[in-house]
């Protein structure tokens, strides 16, 4: 089976290139499941009801993951309890609205576990240990569930790599999100887990991490608060397509995908 995972969607430009690119991606790769990180989808920060309807109203999107910006829009506290396909990092404390683990049926009829966790290094807020959180989920999951994909939303590449090696052979896929820059280290680890340190960003690349350059530069140069806004202009979709042997849960291949707007 094939799984398409798409990196952090930033604002309206990211949503536009996502919407416009999915048909050609489906024609080319025919994925059975699509997972999109949407934590920056509403103006660069969090999600709103209208953005959630736009994304999940697209039949080609199955699950939305997120990260440290999931609560930036207050309405997310209510939205996430009513929409199980919108995940927040699973290592938030018990009692936090929503969940970060979902078992979803792919279009080929295979059940897939999707786990969203957040790193501990250079990340705010400080959450429970992501490694122990993953252990707990895998210990409790059904033994019949053979395909599991992990969106590890983390800053430090070393922590992402550590998670890949830690889960090698126990999950099908570990991909990183959050840093908005695609890495070139996609590989199949020795025990069959597909790994990529960061999927990259789906948004405007004539920017600083999807935001208007001038506003980010002011933060660095003047050291004063500056309200960030998504950049405008041609955008690019970044992600990866993973081919998984559903009978064993081992990945056969992982390939980066990019689509640039003209």
| Residue span of the structural domain in which 162 resides | 2-260
Q: How far apart are CA 248 and CA 186, in angstroms?
A: 20
Distances in Å between the Cα of 257 and the Cα atoms of 28, 47, 188 are 11, 24, 16
> What would the pLDDT profile of 9-18 be if each residue is shown by its tens digit?
999 999 999 9
Structure confidence at residue 160 (pLDDT): 98
The DSSP-derived string for 96-118 is -SS-SEEEEE-TTS-EEEEEEEE
Structure confidence at residue 208 (pLDDT): 97
Banded pLDDT at 256 (limits 50, 70, 90): very high
The neighbouring-strand residues paired with 88 are none
Sequence-distant (≥ 6) Cβ neighbours of residue 205 within 8 angstroms? 234, 235, 236
Banded pLDDT at 219 (limits 50, 70, 90): very high
Distances in Å between the Cα of 188 and the Cα atoms of 1, 24, 231, 244 are 16, 25, 34, 11
Q: How far apart are CA 229 and CA 10, in angstroms?
A: 10
Strands (E), 101-170: 101-105, 111-118, 147-153
The DSSP-derived string for 190-254 is TTS-EEES----BEESSSBTTB-HHHHHHHHHH-S-----B--S-EEEEEEEEEE-TTT--EEEE
Banded pLDDT at 225 (limits 50, 70, 90): confident
Structure confidence at residue 262 (pLDDT): 83
> What would the pLDDT profile of 115-161 be if each residue is shown by its tens digit?
999 999 999 999 999 999 999 999 999 999 999 999 999 999 999 99
3-class DSSP assignment, residue 53: helix
> What would the pLDDT profile of 53-84 be if each residue is shown by its tens digit?
999 999 999 999 999 999 999 999 999 999 99
- Domain of residue 76, CATH code: 3.60.21.10
> What would the pLDDT profile of 181-190 be if each residue is shown by its tens digit?
999 999 999 9
Q: What share of the chain in percent tops pLDDT 70?
A: 100
Sequence-distant (≥ 6) Cβ neighbours of residue 129 within 8 angstroms? 91, 120
Number of domains in the chain: 1
> What would the pLDDT profile of 149-183 be if each residue is shown by its tens digit?
999 999 999 999 999 999 999 999 999 999 999 99
Whether 178 is catalytic is no
Whole-prediction pTM: 0.97
> What would the pLDDT profile of 201-211 be if each residue is shown by its tens digit?
999 999 999 99
Structure confidence at residue 89 (pLDDT): 98
Question: Which of 69, 90, 178, 180 is labelled catalytic?
Answer: 69
């Amino acid at each position: 089976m094939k799984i398409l995972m798409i990196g952090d969607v930033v604002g309206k430009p990211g949503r536009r290139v996502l919407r416009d690119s999915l048909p050609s991606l489906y024609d080319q790769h025919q994925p059975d499941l699509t997972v999109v990180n949407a934590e920056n989808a509403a103006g660069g920060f969090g999600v709103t009801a209208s953005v959630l309807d736009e994304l999940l109203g697209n039949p080609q999107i199955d699950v939305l993951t997120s990260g440290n910006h999931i609560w930036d829009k207050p309405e997310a506290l209510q939205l996430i309890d009513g929409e199980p396909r919108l995940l927040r990092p699973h290592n938030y404390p018990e009692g936090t609205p929503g969940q970060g683990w979902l078992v979803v049926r792919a279009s080929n009829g295979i059940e897939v576990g999707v786990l969203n966790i957040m790193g501990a290094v250079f990340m705010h807020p400080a959450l429970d240990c992501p490694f122990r959180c993953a252990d707990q989920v895998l210990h409790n999951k059904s033994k019949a569930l053979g395909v599991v994909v992990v969106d590890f939303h983390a800053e430090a590449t070393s922590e992402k790599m550590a998670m890949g090696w830690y889960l090698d052979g126990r999950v099908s896929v570990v991909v990183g999100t959050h840093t908005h820059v695609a890495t070139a280290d996609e590989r199949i680890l020795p025990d069959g887990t597909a790994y990529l340190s960061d999927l990259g960003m789906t948004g405007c690349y004539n920017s600083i991490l999807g935001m208007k350059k001038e506003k980010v530069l002011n933060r660095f140069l003047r050291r004063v608060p500056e309200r960030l806004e998504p950049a405008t202009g041609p955008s690019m979709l970044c992600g990866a397509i993973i081919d998984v042997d559903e009978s064993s849960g081992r990945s056969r291949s992982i390939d980066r995908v990019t689509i640039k707007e003209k």
